[in-house]
Structure 1
Amino acid sequence: MKSLSLELPMPPSANRIWRNGAGRNYRSAEYMRFIRAVSVAVVAAGAPTFGDKRLEVHIRLHPATRARQDIDNRVKACLDALTHAGVMDDDSQVDVLVVDRGPVVKGGKSIVRLAVFDPAAEAVEYLMRG
């Protein structure tokens, strides 16, 4: 099974992706830094590209502080940056998405694991669990 694991910076919140000014919307500087960091990590890892294959994705978010945060606000930025880096064609390919919160780490980070989704194997695993 083709898979990929990446350690990335903490994705920006969906509330901080877009900014507006001069009558238009544009990507925030914070989001653009994140997109560049993801692209660098993908190249450094020699990451495979999944093309249009169906995927399962697990995102573990390690916040920088114990402040309250909605972990679901981080998902869109992460998936879009992976798409921008060429890891997958489109984030609509994700059939299984698991997001959880890890322990606090200085500076924050995210661990992202992607794998080709095999519905047949998933069905067997489901049946075996009873």
Structure 2
Amino acid sequence: MIKLHLPYPPSGWDLYNGWGKTRRLSSTYQKWRNDAGYFIKAPHAPIDKPFALHVALRRQNMRQDLDNGSKAILDCLQHYGVIKNDNLYERLTMCWDSDLPAECVIIIQVCEAGLAA
């Protein structure tokens, strides 16, 4: 199990500029990914098995969609070598929690066989 405290992730709508071949990381996402990197200590080897990701966020305003931060988190975990590929996640749970020690708390757990369903 890996537990991380991260800054609040950007919305999926704010990750990239452009489309197709001209698509590139937005400055908002680049800054957040850099900031998140200070809190991430990658394991010796990335998780290369199916895993579950549990995310708790401290709500910043009432108009936010809970699921909009998941893509930024998964891509960041892959970028820093915590997970081998974000296509390995089999379960994602997300919740709002006003009592967190950070804006975003995530727990990554390797799935045991047969528990992904």
TM-score range, shorter chain: 0.7 to 0.9
In the superposition, the TM-score normalised over structure 1's length comes to: 0.76
Deviation sequence 1:21-73 (CA, Å, 0-9, x none): 9x932211110111112222113xxx424431111110011122x33111111
Aligned counterpart in structure 2 of residue 61 of structure 1, from 47, 57, 63 = 57
The residue matched to 1:98 in structure 2 has which SS? strand
What does 1:27-106 align with in structure 2 at a 5 Å threshold?
A: 27-43=25-41, 47-48=42-43, 49-64=45-60, 66-103=61-98
Deviation sequence 1:70-102 (CA, Å, 0-9, x none): 111110011000110100110011111101111
C-alpha contact (below 8 Å) 1:34/1:81 kept by paired residues: no
* Higher CA-based Rg: 1
The residue matched to 1:59 in structure 2 has which SS? strand
After TM superposition, where is structure 1 displaced by more than 3 Å over at least 4 residues in a row? none
The alignment-based identity, stated in percent, is 27
Aligned pair count?
A: 114
> Can you give the 5+ residue segments of structure 2 that lack an aligned partner in the other structure?
none
Counterpart of 1:116 in structure 2 is: 110
The residue matched to 1:41 in structure 2 has which SS? coil
C-alpha contact (below 8 Å) 2:47/2:110 kept by paired residues: no
Residues 55/17 of structure 1: CA separation in 2 closer, same or farther (3 Å cut) = same
Q: Distance in 2 between matches of 1:112 and 1:51?
A: 15
Residues 51/61 of structure 1: CA separation in 2 closer, same or farther (3 Å cut) = same
Q: Distance in 2 between matches of 1:5 and 1:104?
A: 16
> Can you give the 5+ residue segments of structure 1 that lack an aligned partner in the other structure?
none
